[in-house]
Amino acid sequence: MSVLIFADQAEGHIKKAALEAISYGAGVAAVLQTTATALVLGPVSKEDAAALGKYGAQKVLVASTDAFGHLDGQVYAQAVVQAAQSENATVIIFPHNPDGKAVAPRVAARLKAGLVSGATSLPDVTGGGFVVRKNVFSGKAIAGVSITSPLKVISLNPNSYPVKETGGTAEVVDFQPTVTAPKVKVTKVDKVVGEVPLSEAEIVVSGGRGLKGPENWGIVEDLAHALGAATACSRPVADSGWRPHHEHVGQTGLTIRPNLYIAIGISGAIQHLAGVNGSKVIVVINKDPEAPFFKAADYGIVGDAFDVVPKLTAAIKQLKGIS
C-alpha cells in the first residue's frame, strides 16, 4: 500500500499546485501510515525531482520520454496507472488543475477506483471509512464524500492545502512506462508572457462591467503591477472582448483561491463568486453599497472605482517605495 501523487510540470518546472498535491499526499500517507511517491511525467532535472522530498515524497518516479512533451490525457493516464500498479498505490492524488482534470477521471475509470474531484480536506478514516470533503453548489455547501472502492483517486482543489516543507529527501527512480503513441498532435502553443499566471497568483486584481470599457483597464493594471498581482475579470467583460478569455473567473471560467482577491466594479453574482469565494481575503470596491459582493467581502470600499483605485495604487506605491 502507498500513496501516489501526480506532480505535473511545465517546461521542467514543477507547478505550485503539484507541490500542494505532494504535501497533501504526504498528509494522506501519514493518515494511512504508509509512504508517498511522486510521479513526474516529462523533462525535469534530477535535482528538481530529488527536491520534491522536501515536501514529503519519499520516492520520485521520473519518466522523461518524448511521449510526455505535451499533455495527452490518454497517454498520461496509461503511465499513471502503471506507476500506481508498480508502487502498489491505493490512493492516487492529482492537483485539480487542467492537467489533473484531464488525467484523474481516466485513471479512476481504468482502475475502477472511486474519484473525489476538487477535494479540500484530508480523508477522515474514522471507523475504517474514507471520507473526503469538497465544496458543492458553487461553494455554498460542503459535502463529505465517502469512497468505498479499494482504490481511490482524489484531485485536490488549488489553495486548499498548504505547501509544507518537511525537509526530507527523496530517492529518484527512472520510470519507463509502456504507452501508446499520442492521438493528439500539438501544432502550436500560444503562451501568455510577461504576466503573473492567474492560476498560481497569490494576489489577483479583477475588474467587472463597472469599469465601463477596455480603455479604462489601465487603473486595474497599475494596481496589479504595484502589488505584483495577476489580473482577472468577470464573464461579461471577457464576453464583450474587453479582456482575454483566459482572465475570466467564475463558474464557467477559472476557479482561483489567491491569498488576496480585489474585485473592482463587479456586482458579485453567484456565478462569479463560485470561482473566487475560496480566496483567503476578498476586497470589494463598488459604488453601490447594496452590491451583493459586499456580503462575501472581508473589506469593502463603497466608492467610484475611478476615484478609489488610483488613490489605492498611489498609497501602495508609496508604502513599497516604488514610482
Ligand X SMILES: Cc1cc2nc3c(=O)[nH]c(=O)nc-3n(C[C@H](O)[C@H](O)[C@H](O)COP(=O)(O)OP(=O)(O)OC[C@H]3O[C@@H](n4cnc5c(N)ncnc54)[C@H](O)[C@@H]3O)c2cc1C
Asked if 246 touches ligand X (CB under 6 A), the answer is no
Asked if 138 touches ligand X (CB under 6 A), the answer is no
Q: Residues 165, 171, 174, 288: which binds ligand X (CB under 6 A)?
A: 288
Q: Phi and psi for 119 in degrees, rounded to 5?
A: -65, 150
Of 29 and 238, nearer to ligand X (C-beta) is 238
Q: Which grid cell is 43?
A: 523533462
Q: Residues 275, 283, 312, 313: which binds ligand X (CB under 6 A)?
A: 275
Of 287 and 317, nearer to ligand X (C-beta) is 287
Q: Phi and psi for 183 in degrees, rounded to 5?
A: -95, -5
Asked if 216 touches ligand X (CB under 6 A), the answer is no
Tell me the C-alpha distance between 166 and 35, whole Å.
Answer: 14
Of 246 and 287, nearer to ligand X (C-beta) is 287
Asked if 300 touches ligand X (CB under 6 A), the answer is no
Asked if 243 touches ligand X (CB under 6 A), the answer is no
Q: CB of residue 129 vs ligand X: minimum separation in angstroms?
A: 34
Sheet with strand 152-156: strands edge to edge = 141-146, 131-136, 114-119, 152-156, 89-95, 2-6, 35-41, 59-63, 171-174
Is residue 138 within 8 A of residue 124, CB to CB? The reply is no
* Closest residue to ligand X using C-beta atoms: 250
The set of residues, in sequence order, having a beta carbon less than 8 Å from that of 129 and lying 6+ positions away, is 146
Asked if 199 touches ligand X (CB under 6 A), the answer is no
Span interacting with ligand X, options 37-45, 83-91, 103-111, 208-216, rule CB under 6 A: 208-216
Is residue 118 within 8 A of residue 144, CB to CB? The reply is no
Q: Residues 159, 199, 267, 279: which binds ligand X (CB under 6 A)?
A: 267
Asked if 239 touches ligand X (CB under 6 A), the answer is no
Letter for the amino acid at 257?
R
Asked if 234 touches ligand X (CB under 6 A), the answer is yes
Q: CB of residue 283 vs ligand X: minimum separation in angstroms?
A: 13
Q: Phi and psi for 231 in degrees, rounded to 5?
A: -105, 150
Find, among 151, 145, 144, 253, the residue nearest to 206 by Cα.
253
Q: CB of residue 208 vs ligand X: minimum separation in angstroms?
A: 3
Asked if 209 touches ligand X (CB under 6 A), the answer is yes
Q: Three-state SS string across 32-64, please?
A: HCCEEEEEEECCCCHHHHHHHHHHCCCEEEEEC
Span interacting with ligand X, options 18-26, 54-62, 167-175, 279-287, rule CB under 6 A: 279-287
Asked if 271 touches ligand X (CB under 6 A), the answer is yes
Q: Residues 251, 310, 316, 317: which binds ligand X (CB under 6 A)?
A: 251
Which neighbouring-strand residues pair with 153?
92, 115
Asked if 158 touches ligand X (CB under 6 A), the answer is no
Which neighbouring-strand residues pair with 235?
none
Q: What residues make contact with ligand X under the rule CB under 6 A? A: 208-210, 234-237, 250-253, 265-267, 269, 271-272, 275, 285-288, 291, 304-306
